[in-house]
Amino acid sequence: MSSDLPFTLDQLRILKAIATEGSFKRAADSLYVSQPAVSLQVQNLERQLNVPLFDRGGRRAQLTEAGHLLLEYGDRILSLCQETCRAIEDLQNLQGGTLIVGASQTTGTYLLPRMIGLFRQRYPEVAVQLHVHSTRRTSWSVANGQVDLAIIGGEVPSELQESLEIIPYAEDELALIMPVFHPLANAEIIRREDLYQLKFIALDSQSTIRKVIDQVLTRCGIETSNLGIEMELNSIEAIKNAVQAGLGVAFVSISAIEKELQMGMLHRGRVESVVVNRTLSVIFNPNRYRSKAAEAFTAEILPQFTNRSLELTQAQAEQNGQEPTVPSLPAVNGKATVE
């Protein structure tokens, strides 16, 4: 083997495309090249490395052990290449470039669009991407450098907690909502024992928010297994519509029901001695390049929604050797708002 690298970036891109798409043809289509061109590049790569990268027996392109190894390192190489390009773009001082923000489901649906809107008003030349996935997938995207920063409502996977910078950002209250015509809508305070008589609409039992709600209610002495779950739905919007239609009650993030509360479409019930909160966190990868766009978003936009800078929150915690005090998302006239 010569001193030159035995592969090119294009070959690594082709290898990744085949592994992702599962076939040479679909990989060629995704890269807008011909299938013979893809096959030729793979043959050249295998000849240069002197190892087979694919098992040719099955219908789906299967990587060999050597193929998996090259793909693992190739992902890291391509990620660094993208990081390099973005660092060079930064030399234009926010007159271009890209900001990639990640979020878990609820924050990505209701909170991040407002933040991004404000950022775009200040920096219209910066292209912004929002990736909304589960907390676990979002955390891995930050760790792999595919996302600059993210706001999540769940717990970072244990295997990533030491490699990511996790900063508590705000407390998000999960409110009990019910139809405006519900018999308990006129009650100033709902007794805890009354919860067992209600029909609940909930997210899937494996969802992050569902687990948080169950944990907090359990700490408040409420037996979640005795709550009447009428139906499980897969989105907050579906749950809100079901509640409006009178099918039951539900716990949802306060940031998700601002419009409905202001327009009188839903009623928010208050339960005796029960406050259901979850902590939203901002996560970064401290070992990755942080673009000027990401720094501007962190310094200028995030504090607008909690009236406190992340730097101050973190510095106080480090100085006192304690967990930082986490502000709640602001409220106006008792109605949720993150303006």
pLDDT at residue 325 greater than cutoff 80:
no
pLDDT at residue 36 greater than cutoff 60:
yes
Whether residue 279 contacts residue 156, with contact meaning beta carbons closer than 8 Å, is answered with: no
- Crossing angle of helices 35-49 and 9-21, in 10° steps, is 120
Mean pLDDT of the region 82-101: 76
Confidence band, pLDDT 50/70/90 cuts, at residue 156: very high
**Nearest CA to 79 among 320, 325, 318, 285?**
285
Res 308: pLDDT: 45
Res 335: pLDDT: 36
| pLDDT tens by residue, 138-155 | 999 999 889 999 999 888
pLDDT at residue 317 greater than cutoff 60:
no
pLDDT at residue 38 greater than cutoff 50:
yes
Res 339: pLDDT: 30
Res 90: pLDDT: 67
CA distance 280 to 169: 5
Confidence band, pLDDT 50/70/90 cuts, at residue 328: low
The rounded mean pLDDT for the chain is 85
Mean pLDDT of the region 211-227: 86
Half-sphere exposure of 65 (CA within 13 A, CB side): 0
Q: Which of 3-12, 26-35, 132-141, 194-203 has the lowest mean pLDDT?
A: 3-12
Cα angle: 183, vertex 204, 231; to 5 degrees: 40
Res 312: pLDDT: 37
202 DSSP β-pair partners: 232
Q: Name the residue with higher pLDDT: 61 or 68.
A: 68
Q: Name the residue with higher pLDDT: 273 or 115.
A: 115
Mean pLDDT of the region 51-57: 85
pLDDT at residue 338 greater than cutoff 60:
no
Whether residue 37 contacts residue 27, with contact meaning beta carbons closer than 8 Å, is answered with: no
Whether residue 73 contacts residue 7, with contact meaning beta carbons closer than 8 Å, is answered with: no
**Per DSSP, which regions of the chain are E strands?**
54-55, 62-63, 98-103, 127-132, 149-152, 165-178, 199-203, 228-233, 250-253, 267-269, 277-284, 331-332, 335-336
Half-sphere exposure of 114 (CA within 13 A, CB side): 15
Q: Which are the contacts of 286, defined by CB distance < 8 A and separation ≥ 6? A: 164, 165
pLDDT at residue 100 greater than cutoff 80:
yes
Q: Which of 8-12, 78-82, 110-114, 185-189 has the lowest mean pLDDT?
A: 78-82
Longest dimension (CA), the chain: 81
Q: Which of 80-84, 262-266, 328-332 has the lowest mean pLDDT?
A: 328-332
DSSP string spanning 115-176? Answer: HHHHHHHH-TTSEEEEEE--HHHHHHHHHTTSSSEEEESSPPPGGGTTTSEEEEEEEEEEEE
CA distance 188 to 185: 8
Mean pLDDT of the region 196-225: 87
The DSSP call for residue 325 is P
Q: Name the residue with higher pLDDT: 253 or 216.
A: 253
279 DSSP β-pair partners: 171
The model carries a pTM of 0.67
Structural domains in the chain, sorted by start: 9-89 (1.10.10.10), 94-170+279-336 (3.40.190.10), 172-277 (3.40.190.10)
Stretch (H or E) spanning 105: helix 105-106
